[in-house]
A and B are shown apart, each in its own frame.
Chain A
């Protein structure tokens, strides 16, 4: 097992996971993640939609959407916000094709797709080739190594939203389409 420091020099060892795999902070920085999220926001949510880099406390229940990345770095790209904000995001994403009455599966589908787009572009920014899972929606995977996390906290329309790339220890299984389709897409994972 590596030690955190050697003779006062930071070798980077302390940032690595126990089996020598890189941690996310070695591979991608916060401005890159922010740029990916902002691009996704402009294209999916709306050109005039602004993300303000401030942390906040969601009011009421929270919900997360995430995709898993398996490759040289293995972990999840997770979006978390309040349920009401996820519903607002869905309406913004669907724009004029938004149904009058949103169902939970509409929100799971749309929030999952935003996670899919952000996660796919985070994956592309990582070195080497990786696999991307289908999106999932529900309670976020636990942070397993606090040093293997890049996290952004923003406000959208005044409501808090966090975006994080967080490592998985032990490694996540290689993603396959879930049996019976447990992803939010089409099969409506409940919120």
Chain B
């Protein structure tokens, strides 16, 4: 399975990517929403996108809206991974088309549990 991690913090990209690689994902990353769309435009379509909210150039909410406006990317599951934890922000993200929402700080177990709920655990770790 493929995952795209989009966060302007390299540290956070490494952390999230490390968790997903440990779960068996093939991972690419991007530093903001526009770079993330570039990856999809290349034809590298992930099963899962983990995207931060506050980023320069294109933020996570704009990214979600852009992905959802393209029918070719309908199969992509989007999980917001962000420190934006206000209820109104969560509602906005889900309304825009995100499937799940993880609030920073998070643990690897939290990511695992969300992916299990989404049915997106690669076979070998799905118990």
Residues of A bordering B, CB below 8 Å: 39-40, 42-44, 90, 93-97, 106, 109-110, 112-113, 116-117, 119-121, 123-124, 129-130, 132-134, 177-178, 181, 183, 185-186
Contacts and interface: CB of A to CB of B under 8 A. Distances in A.
B56 A117 contact: no
B16 to A, nearest CB: 11
Contacts of A109: 9-11
Nearest to B108: A43
A40 B8 contact: no
Interface residues of B, number: 26
Nearest to A133: B54
B107 A94 contact: no
A134 B84 CA distance: 12
Contacts, number: 85
B50 to A, nearest CB: 15
A103 B74 CA distance: 39
Given A42-B105, A110-B9, A132-B54, 4 more contacts: A132-B84, A134-B54, A183-B56, A186-B8
Interface in B85-117: 85-86, 88, 103-107
Given A43-B105, A186-B31, A116 B54 contact: yes
Nearest to A110: B11
Contacts of B8: 134, 183, 185-186
B12 A113 contact: yes
A112 B12 CA distance: 11
Contacts of A95: 18
A106 B13 CA distance: 12
B39 interface: no
Interface string B4-33: 000011111011001000000000000110
B56 to A, nearest CB: 4
A42 to B, nearest CB: 7
A49 to B, nearest CB: 12
B83 interface: yes
Q: Which of A177, A181, A183, A185 has the most CB of B within 10 A?
A: A185
A124 B85 contact: yes
Contact of A185 (B10, B59, B104): B10
Contact of A121 (B18, B55, B59, B83): B83
B107 A117 contact: no
A120 B11 contact: no
Given A93-B11, A93-B15, A185-B10, A120 B104 contact: yes
A40 B105 contact: yes
A43 B10 contact: no
